[in-house]
Amino acid sequence: MRSVFRLGLAAMIAALAPAVCVAQAPPPTGSKPPLSAYGALPAVELVALSPTGRRLAFVGVSGETRVLSVVDMDDRTVVGRAGIGEVKVRDVQWIDEEQVLVTVSSTEFLPDLGLVKEELFFARVFEPAAERVTPMLARDPDMFPALMGPAEVVGTDGATLLVRAHSFTSGIDLYRVDPQSGRARLAERMGREVDDYLLGVDGRAVARSEYDQRTKVWSLHLREGNGYREVWRTEAPVDLPGLVGLGLEGESVIVVADRPDLDRGGRTPTRFFDVDMKSGEWRPLRFEFDPTGMLFHPATRRLIGVRRVEEDGMRYAFFDDAALVLWDAVEKALPGRAPELVGWSDDLTSAVAFTSGTGDSGSYHFVDLELGAFTDVGAAYPDIEPAHVAQIMPLSYRAADGLEINGYLTLPSGKEPQGLPLVVLAHGGPAARDTAGFDWWGQALAAEGYAVLQANFRGSTGYGQAFMEAGYGEWGRKMQTDLSDGVRHLAGAGVIDPSRVCIVGASYGGYAAMAGPTLDRGVYRCAVAVAGVSDLRRMVDHEAAMGSRRDNDTVRYWSRFMGAERLGDRSLDERSPARLAEQADAPILLIHGRDDTVVPIFQSRAMAEALRRAGKPHELIELAGEDHWLSNTGTRRRVLAETVRFLGEHNPVD
Q: Tens digit of pLDDT for each residue in 222-254? A: 999 999 999 999 999 998 999 999 999 999 999
User: So what's the pLDDT on residue 7?
Assistant: 34
Q: What is residue 390's DSSP assignment?
A: -
* pLDDT at residue 86 is higher than 90: no
Containing H/E element for 638? helix 633-650
Cα–Cα distance measured from residue 248 to residue 225, given in angstroms and rounded to the nearest whole number: 22
Under 8 Å between Cβ of 221 and 231: yes
Question: 336: phi > 0 → left, psi -120 to 50 → alpha, else beta; which?
Answer: left
- CA angle 638/354/304 to nearest 5° reads 130
In this prediction, residue 8 has a pLDDT band, given cuts at 50, 70 and 90, of: very low
* pLDDT at residue 373 is higher than 90: no
User: So what's the pLDDT on residue 76?
Assistant: 83
Helix, strand, or coil (residue 427)? coil
Mean pLDDT across 59-65: 83
In this prediction, residue 94 has a pLDDT band, given cuts at 50, 70 and 90, of: very high
* pLDDT at residue 29 is higher than 80: no
The pTM for the full model equals 0.92
User: So what's the pLDDT on residue 177?
Assistant: 95
Of 181 and 13, more confident:
181
Q: Tens digit of pLDDT for each residue in 117-159? A: 788 999 999 998 888 899 999 988 999 999 999 999 997 566 8
Mean pLDDT across 96-123: 84
* pLDDT at residue 25 is higher than 50: no
Cα–Cα distance measured from residue 331 to residue 337, given in angstroms and rounded to the nearest whole number: 8
User: So what's the pLDDT on residue 3?
Assistant: 28
HSE-up (13 A, CA, CB side) for residue 566: 1
Cα–Cα distance measured from residue 454 to residue 439, given in angstroms and rounded to the nearest whole number: 10
Residues linked to residue 184 through DSSP beta bridges, in sequence order: 177
* pLDDT at residue 116 is higher than 90: no
User: So what's the pLDDT on residue 406?
Assistant: 97
User: So what's the pLDDT on residue 496?
Assistant: 97
Helix, strand, or coil (residue 36)? helix
* pLDDT at residue 30 is higher than 80: no
Cα–Cα distance measured from residue 143 to residue 165, given in angstroms and rounded to the nearest whole number: 7
Cα–Cα distance measured from residue 482 to residue 490, given in angstroms and rounded to the nearest whole number: 13
Q: The sheet that has 227-235: what strands, in order across it?
A: 194-199, 205-212, 217-224, 227-235
Under 8 Å between Cβ of 280 and 222: yes
Mean of the per-residue pLDDT values of the chain: 91
Under 8 Å between Cβ of 143 and 184: yes
Helix, strand, or coil (residue 35)? helix
Mean pLDDT across 55-63: 89
Under 8 Å between Cβ of 394 and 410: no
Q: Tens digit of pLDDT for each residue in 280-311? A: 999 999 998 999 999 999 999 999 999 999 99
In this prediction, residue 15 has a pLDDT band, given cuts at 50, 70 and 90, of: very low
Q: What spatial distance separates the first Cα and last Cα of the chain, rounded to whole Å?
A: 61
597 CA to centre of own chain: 16
* pLDDT at residue 170 is higher than 50: yes
* pLDDT at residue 111 is higher than 70: no
Cα–Cα distance measured from residue 353 to residue 364, given in angstroms and rounded to the nearest whole number: 6
Residues 6+ apart with CB under 8 A from 414: none
Q: Which of 43-52, 115-124, 365-374, 614-623 has the lowest mean pLDDT?
A: 115-124
User: So what's the pLDDT on residue 23?
Assistant: 26
User: So what's the pLDDT on residue 545?
Assistant: 85
